[in-house]
Structures are given as C-alpha cells and as structure tokens.
Amino acid sequence: MDLSKAPYCEQDPRQNAQLVRGLSASTSKAKAGFKVKKTTFKIPGSPDGISVDSWRFQDWDYKKPDLPTYARGLFTTRNRRNDHEIAVRGYDKFFNVGEVSDTRWENIKLKTRGPYELTLKENGCIIFISGLEDETLLVCSKHSTGDRSDVEVSHASAGERWVNKQLATIGKTREEFARELRRRNVTAVAELCDDDFEEHILAYGPDKAGLYLHGVNINIPEFMTYQSHLVQQFADEWGFRKVGLKSFDDIETVKNFLEQVAESGAHEGRDVEGFVVRCGISSNAEQTQYNDWFFKYKFEEPYLMYRQWRECTKALIAGKPPKFKKHAKITEEYLLYARKRLANDPKLSRLYNQNHGIIALRDEFLAYKNMKGSDAANFENAFGNDTSSVSSDVVLVPIATIGCGKTTVGVALTHLFGWGLVQNDNIQGKGRPARMVQAVMSLLMEHPVVISDRNNSERREREQIIKDILMQHKNARLVALNFAHGDVDEVRRVTRERVLKRGDNHQTIQAATDENKVIGIMENFISRFQPCNPDTSPDDGFDLIIDLDPAQGSRENVEKVVTELHKKYPLLIPNVPSAEDLDAAVKGAIEDYTPGIKHTIPDRTSKREQKRAEAQKSHDPKKKKQLEYMAISIPAKEVNVTLESAFKGVDPPTQRFYKQLQQSRRIQALFHVTLMHRATSRQDPELWQRYTTLAAESQSVDGKVGECEVMLERVVFDDRIMAIVVRLLDPDEKWTCFNKIAHITAGTRDDSVKPKESNDLLARWLNVGSGGDTGIGERIFEGKPTLKGTVRGVLSQ
C-alpha cells in the first residue's frame, strides 16, 4: 500500500458543531462530573488572524464514560464559512494494561483484532502539526500553541524550530507542508526528543535528536489513524525521524513478546520504558465494526528491580560503587550474593558483561532466598526496609516556580509537626547554595524533617542540593515536592494572581511596588523550569517524589505531602493529622505569614502558634534527653579521601575488605572519634560528669562544645570491622578519650558487628600486630593528615 491509498475522511460541519456544543457545555462543572478547560490561542503569522481553541480534560476524567471526545490534544477553530473545524486531533487517551476494563488481558483478547503494531514508548514530549485554512502551519504541544511573543521556551516552539529545520533539509516550505496536511485532513503526531531541550529517560544526543513521527490522525471526532507503515512513509517524505516498529498478527504472540522484553528490561540493546500497541477494537457486540484503538504496556515490578540488579551487577564488575535507591535491602543482599558468585567464577563476569547469565544469576539468588521475584520486589513493604524505619534526616526539596505555594506548604508543615524550615529568600549575599545546605544540615540536628524552601526549577539546582546534602550526610533522604507544570498556562494564571495579591509581603518579590518587574521575574523562572524526571539524574536521587498541582491550592497540597510521607515513612508521621488540623495549619500559613529575616521557625508562626509551641516545649520530652556519648566529629570528605588513597593501587587481598565495605555501602556516612560513651560512665564517673555538664551547658543547636584537631594515623581491619587509629592534637589536654586507643570506626561488615568492637580489634592489633597469620590488615596513612574536628555531645534519641 502506498500513501495515495491512505484512509481519508472529510470533516462534517454538523458533527463538529455538535462536538463543540458538547465541549462548551462541559466548561463549567456540570452534572456530568467532569470539566473541560478551554483556552484560546491566537496564531501568530496567520494571514487570516486565525485563533484556535484548545480543549482539555483532567487526565483522570478520560476514564469516565460519555465524554464528548476522548481525544487528548484537541484544537478547534472556525473557518471562513464560520463553520466549526477540527484543527488538531491527538490520539484517543490510551491506558496501561490492567488500568481500565478494556485493557485487561481477557478483554483485549476478546475484543481486539490485529495486526498489532508495537512501537517503543518514546520518551519526549508530544508535538502536533497541522495545516490551517490560510496555509499557516500550526505546530503545538498537547494543550498549547507556544505563542512566539512569549518568553517561555515552550515545547511547542521547540517543536517549531525542529519542523523548520527538517523542512529546510528536504527543500520544502511551511506552506507546502500545511497544504499537504490539510489536503489529507490530518494531524501529524510526533515526539520531540532533544536532550538539549529537555532530558528524558532515554538518551538522545545530537545525532538522535529531532521529531519522531509516530502517528497521522484524521481530523474527525472519532479516532481514526494511519497504519504504521503509512506513518513511516509519510515520515520519510517529510523529513521526520521514524519510530521503531514491530508487527504481530495475534494477541498471544504480542503478550509473550511483551512479557519477554519485560523480563530482560531491554529491547534491541537499550532500556525501554514500555510499548504502545495499536490495533482495532470492536465497537459492537457482533464484532463487525472495528475502530482504531491503542493501549500501552509499561514495565513494572519486579522487572524494574531486575533492571536495577543488572545495572548494579555491572557496576560491581567494573569495580564501581553500585547506585540504587529502591528495594535497598533486598538489593544489598542480592549484591552480597552476586559478589561471591562473581569472585568464585571469573568467567561469569566476562559473560555477564556480554549480557549472558543475567537471568540465571538472578534466579539463582531468588532460589537461594527461596523467594519469587514478586515477593522480592515486595520485600521492603513486607519486612520493613529502611524507609519504614526512617524517623529522621528527611529533607523536603520543592521543584517549583514563584508563587506555587512552597512557603505556604512549608510553614503549614512546621505548624503541624514543628519541622525545620530554611528559606532561601532569607539568605543574602555570596555562596547562597552552600549556605542553604549548611542551614539545612544544622536544622536537621534538631528536627526530623527540614524543608529547604527554594524553587529548584532547574536540574542543576536539584543536583547541587542533592549532592551537597548527601556528601555531608550519606543517610539523609531527599523528598521532592514536585509542583508539576503540566499545564503551564494554568500555573501561570494561578501564581500570577496569588503573587500580585500577595503584594509586598515577601522578601524579594514585591509585586505591589513593581508589578511588571515581578511578572518578568516569574516568567523567567517558568521558562527555565525543567520538569522532574524520576528516572534520570539528578531527580533519581530523590528517595520519594510527591507530585503536587500548584493550581490545586495549598490545602490539598499539604494533605498530599502528609499522606505520602506517612505512607513511605510511617514512623516519621505515625498519625495523619485531622482535616481540621490541616485546615488550621494552612489557614494560619496563608493568613499569618510575614517574612522574617532569620530562618528560625517561631518568628514566622502566628502568635497563637507561638504560644502553643511554648506550651508544648515546657513538657517536651526533648528537654530530658540524656547524653549518649561525647565525640569529635570529623569532616567526612577528608576521611574518605584519605581512605581511598590508602587503598589505591595496593594488592587485591589488602583492598578486599575496603572494597567490600564500599560496595555494600557499609562505610560510615559520618565519622567521629568517641571520647566516652554512656555505657562506660561507671568506669570513670568523674569524666562522664564533666562531659554531661558540658553537653548540658552547650548553647549550640548541634550540641557543639568545642574543637579539637585530630591526626589520622593508620587504618586497621580484619574481615569484620575497619578502624582508623587517630591521635588527638590537644595541647591543653582538654579532651580525654576513655578508649585505650582513640579511633574512628570506618565501617562494619553488617549490622551484627557493632562499632564498639573496634576496641577489641585494636587491642588484638596492639598484641599481635598485623600481617602474616594474624588476620589483621593495616595501612599507614601517607603524610598523616590533620583534620579539624568538632567536639559534640550526642543526646539519646
């Protein structure tokens, strides 16, 4: 079949009028239970001055019956005869397997027919292209035309640039392309994949970037679309890139194929997110009529966990520390197992790197654990992984633009839970990012959760805060408050309205003073906004991403944050506050807020809240916290560097335990020299009393009582524990170390080995030395670095 035989259907003005009537009737929340949003765009450069209307339902409404249309992405206009016309028509909204009744396998088998065309679920943003009556080429995203007078670098205008580029390559004009689309009465549907513009899951370097054509839809109310081979021909003719295609005749083969790819997580050598399947679905019981119909198949657990294991195994083989966040506990166990197997069988690593034995190794481990893959993926939920025991060290990081409600949500949370809040707007002068992190770190000492209130609209800002916090505190967990900008126009409208209303009640954005300037600043943030992408760096560094809708209002958003945090970290929020408490907290945050100059919370809470906080404080159990131990904390970065260089280039047996600790993430996140622990208080009551008094008198939020320089001398280890022998450079003999040999525990093999066993190791080492058959290894640090430590009292939890 060639393109001249492509399906064609002309528009019917009466049918269109009925469609628009149906849509218009849904613009106010009607009895129907859904609401459509209409936005009008003037088309720049249109000789006739054409404008188009975009019609948009909320995503979840597409599951409801009796919508006037299921087209996701629909623009209509009026032509010269004043008839309604469809300008752009997207696909009918399609669902994942199992998501709705039609997409359950048994129904798919029952109601659909082949050929089944599978395309990779490309991961960019969708672009629609069509031709208007006056030969204007309309290029738009799902719901926006990307007005060129706007400073926003919208998806639509990025798409526009690519269209121009590809037309230039084939020597055609925009008018010619517009005429061709109009002649066919179609919308070309393409995926914009361009890392320079926006990074998605798959990498699209310059050689791969561009518009990938994946559909050609007829501009009529019902869904009618070209078969894939015609789409590909059309792509060739008009200079688009093509999407990979697989075609099957029967549904069993499709199902088998999908499940097989899911099993390996890769297709033709690259990771895929899933597939879109195009086929026909019967629209009547007799199965005589079929409509075009799509569904999708997205990979889920346990396959995502398997994929993670594969990547981690490859990291092990390459001698790099494996990176993972999800399924932490079971993945650590898997890696211990994999490490042993790889060590016993050198051939295995080589084969693994060539993608052999991946499934076998994984199955071996599961058999050894006597578990099914699905159980393993559920392991964390069932047996309490690190997140169910998390009760502190959580940092909330917004991804937002101005006026999304970051501060309101943050202040409300401080009202509810007494958490810490650091406002970037309260930090002035140089080096703000680093100082923001410092402020967060110090508030983390006294609050289980700290809100780091900054926009982080760009990826590099997220990268900075994630990196800097984890560098100082490896076990901190960062949670994104993702104020999604899916509907940029709505976000713009809502935030402008709020910020203009807020007037001068802000540290830097003073809208009452200069409205235009403020709108300019807001636009600037919106144009730089890079959406959160959980699958790639830096956003994969978040432990949890909570999706919020800025247009929804802060009350809703606070509730979402609270319930999501409660789900993920039940110990952090054991009981979700009542609706009244949530109401009051948000109301208080909106009404009573005035920006402070210091970032201490009580300054910005209402009078009432302050009183309540005072009242609480007086019977706060925190007051009665006891000293657990006195210690000198040492900057982690320097210690890590020293260890790394001590083991660099030495023979493998000496390196082994260090590598093991590193790869199983058992090197301490924070390092300290214990001066004295409560457990030994009876053995030197006088010293313990001195330290207890010092800690009680400390004025500092983090329990700091003084400073002491520490010289790192050597590292001593067996196959259980690793300790760094240090010397306190303390000329005034102010600090006494109760332990015989002052040391830092660098890491232990697993949780069953307690840090205090360093004392036993060092006692043995003193007796028998190292090397030979002592079972003890030792490396002396070159240059014996001296580090500045902070003496602190650490209180009981």
Residues designated catalytic:
121
How would you classify the pairing of strands 290-298 and 477-483? unpaired
- Minimum separation from the CB atom of position 407 to ligand GTP (A): 3
**How does 135-161 read in b/e, with b if 16+ C-beta sit within 10 Å?**
bbbbbbbbbbbbeeebebbbbbbbbbe
Which range binds ligand GTP by CB under 6 A, 106-114, 312-320, 404-412, 662-670? 404-412
The secondary structure of residue 603, as a DSSP letter, is G
Show the tokens assigned to 317.
Answer: 């083989």
Is the Cβ of residue 527 or residue 654 nearer to ligand GTP in the bound state?
Answer: 527
> Do 319 and 353 contact (CB within 8 A), yes or no?
no
- The site partner of 184 among Mg ion, ligand GTP, none (C-beta below 5 to 8 Å per kind) is none
Q: What is the DSSP string of 391-420?
A: -S-EEEEEE--TTSSHHHHHHHHHHHH--E
- Minimum separation from the CB atom of position 398 to ligand GTP (A): 7
Tell me which of 190, 481, 509, 705 binds ligand GTP, using CB under 6 A: 509
Contacts with ligand GTP: how many residues (CB under 6 A)? 19
- Minimum separation from the CB atom of position 430 to ligand GTP (A): 21
What residues numbered 518-557 form the site for ligand GTP, per CB under 6 A?
A: 553-555
Cα end-to-end span (Å), the chain:
73
- Minimum separation from the CB atom of position 365 to ligand GTP (A): 46
> Do 514 and 522 contact (CB within 8 A), yes or no?
no
Which range binds ligand GTP by CB under 6 A, 174-182, 402-410, 413-421, 707-715? 402-410
Is the Cβ of residue 22 or residue 595 nearer to ligand GTP in the bound state?
Answer: 595
- Minimum separation from the CB atom of position 477 to ligand GTP (A): 22
Exposure of 196 by Cβ count < 10 A (0-12 exposed, 13-18 middle, 19+ buried)? exposed
Q: What is the dihedral of CA 95, 96, 98, 101, to 10 degrees?
A: 10
605 touches ligand GTP (CB under 6 A): no
Is the Cβ of residue 502 or residue 690 nearer to ligand GTP in the bound state?
Answer: 502
Tell me which of 202, 402, 465, 565 binds ligand GTP, using CB under 6 A: 402
Is the Cβ of residue 233 or residue 507 nearer to ligand GTP in the bound state?
Answer: 507
403 touches ligand GTP (CB under 6 A): yes
Show the tokens assigned to 213.
Answer: 């054509």
Which range binds ligand GTP by CB under 6 A, 89-97, 240-248, 498-506, 563-571? 498-506
Q: How many residues does the chain have?
A: 797
> Do 137 and 178 contact (CB within 8 A), yes or no?
yes
**Distance, CA of 249 to CA of 115 (rounded, Å):** 5
112 touches Mg ion (CB under 5 A): no
Exposure of 708 by Cβ count < 10 A (0-12 exposed, 13-18 middle, 19+ buried)? buried
- Minimum separation from the CB atom of position 436 to Mg ion (A): 13
- Minimum separation from the CB atom of position 586 to ligand GTP (A): 7
Tell me which of 84, 142, 447, 498 binds ligand GTP, using CB under 6 A: 498
Helix ranges (DSSP H) in 147-246: 155-170, 174-184, 228-237
Is the Cβ of residue 305 or residue 499 nearer to ligand GTP in the bound state?
Answer: 499
- Minimum separation from the CB atom of position 431 to ligand GTP (A): 20
- Minimum separation from the CB atom of position 46 to ligand GTP (A): 36
- Minimum separation from the CB atom of position 609 to Mg ion (A): 18
Q: Is 36 helix (H, G, I), strand (E, B) or coil?
A: strand
Is the Cβ of residue 189 or residue 518 nearer to Mg ion in the bound state?
Answer: 518
Exposure of 328 by Cβ count < 10 A (0-12 exposed, 13-18 middle, 19+ buried)? middle
Is the Cβ of residue 72 or residue 506 nearer to ligand GTP in the bound state?
Answer: 506
Task: Provide φ and ψ at 711, rounded to 5°.
Answer: -100, 125
Show the tokens assigned to 533.
Answer: 């992408």
How far, CA to CA in Å, does 276 sit from each of 95, 102, 194, 259, 602?
Answer: 9, 15, 20, 14, 52
Q: What is the dihedral of CA 580, 586, 590, 591, to 10 degrees?
A: 30
Tell me which of 405, 448, 577, 789 binds ligand GTP, using CB under 6 A: 405
- The site partner of 554 among ligand GTP, Mg ion, none (C-beta below 5 to 8 Å per kind) is ligand GTP
590 touches ligand GTP (CB under 6 A): yes
Tell me which of 154, 166, 219, 407 binds ligand GTP, using CB under 6 A: 407
Is the Cβ of residue 123 or residue 606 nearer to ligand GTP in the bound state?
Answer: 606
- Minimum separation from the CB atom of position 48 to ligand GTP (A): 40
Which range binds ligand GTP by CB under 6 A, 397-405, 535-543, 698-706, 781-789? 397-405
404 touches ligand GTP (CB under 6 A): yes
Tell me which of 54, 123, 219, 407 binds Mg ion, using CB under 5 A: 407
Exposure of 703 by Cβ count < 10 A (0-12 exposed, 13-18 middle, 19+ buried)? buried
State the residue for tokens 């009393």.
Answer: 689
Type of residue numbered 291: N
Is the Cβ of residue 313 or residue 407 nearer to Mg ion in the bound state?
Answer: 407
485 touches ligand GTP (CB under 6 A): no
Angle at 91 between CA 90 and CA 94, to 5 degrees: 140
Other Cβ atoms closer than 10 A to 381: 10
Is the Cβ of residue 150 or residue 425 nearer to ligand GTP in the bound state?
Answer: 425
- Minimum separation from the CB atom of position 404 to ligand GTP (A): 4
- The site partner of 532 among Mg ion, ligand GTP, none (C-beta below 5 to 8 Å per kind) is none
Is the Cβ of residue 506 or residue 599 nearer to ligand GTP in the bound state?
Answer: 506
Contacts with Mg ion: how many residues (CB under 5 A)? 1
> Do 204 and 195 contact (CB within 8 A), yes or no?
yes
- The site partner of 111 among ligand GTP, Mg ion, none (C-beta below 5 to 8 Å per kind) is none
- The site partner of 664 among Mg ion, ligand GTP, none (C-beta below 5 to 8 Å per kind) is none
400 touches ligand GTP (CB under 6 A): yes
Which range binds ligand GTP by CB under 6 A, 82-90, 406-414, 484-492, 564-572? 406-414
Angle at 777 between CA 776 and CA 778, to 5 degrees: 125
Secondary structure E strands in 366-493? 394-399, 420-423, 449-453, 477-483
- The site partner of 492 among Mg ion, ligand GTP, none (C-beta below 5 to 8 Å per kind) is none
779 touches ligand GTP (CB under 6 A): no
631 touches ligand GTP (CB under 6 A): no
- The site partner of 405 among ligand GTP, Mg ion, none (C-beta below 5 to 8 Å per kind) is ligand GTP
- Minimum separation from the CB atom of position 412 to ligand GTP (A): 9
How far, CA to CA in Å, does 476 sit from each of 386, 444, 450?
Answer: 12, 9, 11
Is the Cβ of residue 457 or residue 668 nearer to ligand GTP in the bound state?
Answer: 457
Show the tokens assigned to 191.
Answer: 């995926």
Tell me which of 84, 496, 506, 779 binds ligand GTP, using CB under 6 A: 506
Tell me which of 228, 408, 664, 668 binds ligand GTP, using CB under 6 A: 408
How would you classify the pairing of strands 241-242 and 245-248? unpaired
> Do 694 and 675 contact (CB within 8 A), yes or no?
no
Is the Cβ of residue 487 or residue 718 nearer to ligand GTP in the bound state?
Answer: 487
State the residue for tokens 């976000």.
Answer: 491
Show the tokens assigned to 796.
Answer: 């009981």
What residues numbered 452-471 form the site for ligand GTP, per CB under 6 A?
A: 455
Q: Is 561 helix (H, G, I), strand (E, B) or coil?
A: helix
Where along the sequence are the contacts to ligand GTP (CB under 6 A)?
A: 400, 402-408, 425, 455, 498-499, 502, 506, 509, 553-555, 590
Where along the sequence are the contacts to Mg ion (CB under 5 A)?
A: 407
